[in-house]
Structure 1
């Protein structure tokens, strides 16, 4: 091993995965985190006996997390416990229609309440198609860490990429071929929430997402999602990885086209031959490497995903009509997506994701009380969209929820905590307040993200939602595993 010292900038899941993966291979790894605890967007708020997971709230693909622990010679179950979530989702529509997606393990399919037998058969046919996409993507793009269109052409061949992976089709165009029921179509289209994109723009290969949720289940981390971060922190301690909190990196040091270290907020320099940035690639090139506009422009196709208005409410009432995961759909989903992703404006009638974790874990709120997280997708930071407009949108959201089943919601609020895109950008240095990294758009980037290995500096790598394979907790973990493999290939 030529160079075994690695510095990881940021302790989001991508950074933690990289650190654990490389330490498991004998590398000397140090992590530098600007905030006062690890986890990145996997964050926690505790207030008046309530616990709120500020970031991710859906756990799927546990086998990817298992791989991380197994490669370290550890058992994941010794660090945190997973609880299955049932139903997976509850879906509310403006005409009072309510549809649950319920896993039926023995049959390996969903039971869908409130639709016809034909609709159920249509969904089964769609899931067969979804499985085909997953199998193809898993054997190449995921497992081999493919980064560029050229990499994918080499792996799959041009014809297979276009035909079998529906390379130039959109999510919605393929969903329509299988699903006639408008309610089901809207539900399946909204699986792209995992990557913060629009089904009318995102490549059809993302129709693998429903099968992933089917096959690998939907889970909750006992005691709150932040216990995942705590479990990873324990694993880091067991592997003797050094973590420096409240240690913001101000600069990546380079010389003769090679990254050789970092400069901290206190001007202290730390040297190493391998640098891994968990900061998103565009902010990293701007903030840490001071690249010029001409260089940054090459990354224009990697536009930020959507952001969100994240509302956490402590409630003095438990709304029994809610499941753990809930979606309150727009009257016109296509208009909603167009407003957010095409016009970059705040929606008048957003589709709302609402999490009520006490349906699985009563410890998240005091007895007789409740906590909920409300998350509509909204555009990333754009000139002209002010904090005042975000709070005007909040009132529209409350109106919608009260109209669709949360009677007198405002009257039952004990307190509210709100994160705007400005807060998200400030807390995590995400690109323009993006939540999911890079948007998936068939015209802009074919659904691909930036490459994990720097094209300009030797020894510099990137992980997280802005690089392949993209946003979401399992993909962030996978990016770290893939970067480990890249480093092993070039550092023998």
Structure 2
């Protein structure tokens, strides 16, 4: 059997390890942290439990396929439940709308909130469905080595024109949606890839389409249970894990990869290396091989995604109007993107605030609530989040913003935990704590991330910084692509 080393036990690395082990490979996973899951983290304290990463699963079929292909059904190991409504939105004028889990019910809900918007949104999603047909299977779920591959995958010039790479998500919203609040709602989906709607290709209307077509889902006990189930599946398949094992180099010979070097000098030989590390870190720091010069140069032009500032709030009592997911928009959404992507990045003064508060007894003591609060933030390095007092002052600011938007929880606060971009960088190894790998600001960035097959034979990339991108479904797709390229033992 071929020896495979997987660098990183994030969800992409775990998914790749499971598929390769199921295919007969002898797999070792090396993880610099003390546990598995990567950005799909968890904090447990005093009866409260918080997902510290993703809080919503879309495209659950990707994980159903993964588990079915590696030994047993997903629904046998986790309890996957629909989130209803998928999200509650509050706008600067005080108006509110719930977006239902059922895609068929979305137009009526939007019409009740803003007459005429439901029909406009339905027409926009119908066009997004055609775009999904173009990119879902042909592009996102197959290896992509560059622009030439993208052209070859397109059945005709008409297909390429349908992608409209010269239009941005913002342009699409202005052309297709007459209510400015509906445009804000569409802009929000740019942040799913850590991007700016003014630069994100209009192709990314597929993001709300996928969320609404396939629904938003939650795993009882927290999404971390999905990572635990995948880790358990790997162990059942004989995958060997080494934690607190920091890889400092991917070693190569003329024929390709030969193994990896660990901090402290130990060497682990391998015929195949699958990297779940950030692609920039891989090519810049771990792989001095001259064959990596081209992707190294390309990554030098890539803008990493935005990061996030997170509050984990243990709250006394229950809210009168609980929602699993809610987004509270500011009056000036453009100021947020100027703050994040402008020439002088700064913490957003008046940010959009995302709150996840599952009504799940497994994550809170009876009668209380556990709130995960996220605001988009500049990366570590753009702002020094380790500066004395900055994190706590900004945490207070976020609580003030929540209060101003009708959710004053300051007098209910039992305790809080603050996570900054500096923490994400330290814990996950991502550049500056970028949550989504590279941003999708521009057509090339959106569709032409680093290839899953590296130019060095035997080296493969998975995870959010490689094709097809970040997010739970996409990193699992990257793992399937890599495993198919490697093939069975």
TM over 0.5: yes
For 1:36-115, what aligned pairs fall within 5 Å after superposition?
Answer: 36-104=34-102, 111-112=109-110, 114-115=112-113
For 1:240-279, what aligned pairs fall within 5 Å after superposition?
Answer: 240-256=238-254, 258-279=256-277
For 1:393-472, what aligned pairs fall within 5 Å after superposition?
Answer: 393-407=394-408, 409-442=409-442, 445-455=445-455, 457-472=456-471
The Cα shift of 1:96 comes to: 1.4
2:485 is the counterpart of 1:486: yes
Residue number in structure 2 paired with 1:179: 177
The Cα shift of 1:461 comes to: 1.0
Q: For 2:407 and 2:258, locate their aligned partners in 1 and report how far apart those are by CA, in whole Å.
A: 55
The Cα shift of 1:105 comes to: 6.0
Are the counterparts in 1 of residues 97 and 109 from structure 2 also a CA contact under 8 Å? Answer: no
Q: 1:399-423 CA deviation, whole Å, 9 max, x = no partner?
A: 110011112x222211111111111
CA separation of 1:316 and 1:39: change in aligned 2, threshold 3 A:
same
The Cα shift of 1:335 comes to: 2.3
CA separation of 1:106 and 1:163: change in aligned 2, threshold 3 A:
closer
Structure 2 regions of 5+ residues with no counterpart?
Answer: none
Q: For 1:319 and 1:11, locate their aligned partners in 2 and report how far apart those are by CA, in whole Å.
A: 36
The Cα shift of 1:365 comes to: 0.9
TM-score normalised per structure 1? 0.93
The Cα shift of 1:353 comes to: 1.0
TM-score normalised per structure 2? 0.94
Q: 1:194-215 CA deviation, whole Å, 9 max, x = no partner?
A: 2111111111111101110111
Structure 1 regions of 5+ residues with no counterpart?
Answer: none
Q: For 2:348 and 2:116, locate their aligned partners in 1 and report how far apart those are by CA, in whole Å.
A: 33
Are the counterparts in 1 of residues 259 and 273 from structure 2 also a CA contact under 8 Å? Answer: yes
Q: For 2:320 and 2:129, locate their aligned partners in 1 and report how far apart those are by CA, in whole Å.
A: 34
Q: For 2:55 and 2:108, locate their aligned partners in 1 and report how far apart those are by CA, in whole Å.
A: 21
Residue number in structure 2 paired with 1:325: 325
1:202 aligned counterpart, secondary structure? coil
Q: For 1:126 and 1:406, locate their aligned partners in 2 and report how far apart those are by CA, in whole Å.
A: 32
Q: For 1:130 and 1:235, locate their aligned partners in 2 and report how far apart those are by CA, in whole Å.
A: 35
The one of 26, 31, 34 aligned to 1:33: 31
Once the two structures are overlaid, the 10-residue window that deviates more, 59-68 or 147-156, is 147-156
For 1:305-316, what aligned pairs fall within 5 Å after superposition?
Answer: 305-316=305-316
Q: For 2:110 and 2:355, locate their aligned partners in 1 and report how far apart those are by CA, in whole Å.
A: 20
Residue number in structure 2 paired with 1:380: 379
Are the counterparts in 2 of residues 302 and 449 from structure 1 also a CA contact under 8 Å? Answer: no
Q: For 2:180 and 2:348, locate their aligned partners in 1 and report how far apart those are by CA, in whole Å.
A: 21
Are the counterparts in 2 of residues 340 and 347 from structure 1 also a CA contact under 8 Å? Answer: yes
Are the counterparts in 1 of residues 83 and 101 from structure 2 also a CA contact under 8 Å? Answer: no
Q: For 1:85 and 1:42, locate their aligned partners in 2 and report how far apart those are by CA, in whole Å.
A: 19
Q: For 1:386 and 1:423, locate their aligned partners in 2 and report how far apart those are by CA, in whole Å.
A: 9
1:464 aligned counterpart, secondary structure? coil
CA separation of 1:335 and 1:162: change in aligned 2, threshold 3 A:
farther
Residue number in structure 2 paired with 1:341: 341
RMSD (CA atoms): 2.1
The Cα shift of 1:484 comes to: 0.9
The Cα shift of 1:306 comes to: 0.3
Q: 1:58-107 CA deviation, whole Å, 9 max, x = no partner?
A: 11101111111122242111111101101111111222111110133666
The Cα shift of 1:257 comes to: 5.8
1:189 aligned counterpart, secondary structure? helix
Q: For 1:449 and 1:195, locate their aligned partners in 2 and report how far apart those are by CA, in whole Å.
A: 12
2:300 aligned counterpart, secondary structure? coil
Q: For 1:17 and 1:384, locate their aligned partners in 2 and report how far apart those are by CA, in whole Å.
A: 33
CA separation of 1:122 and 1:15: change in aligned 2, threshold 3 A:
same
Once the two structures are overlaid, the 10-residue window that deviates more, 393-402 or 249-258, is 249-258
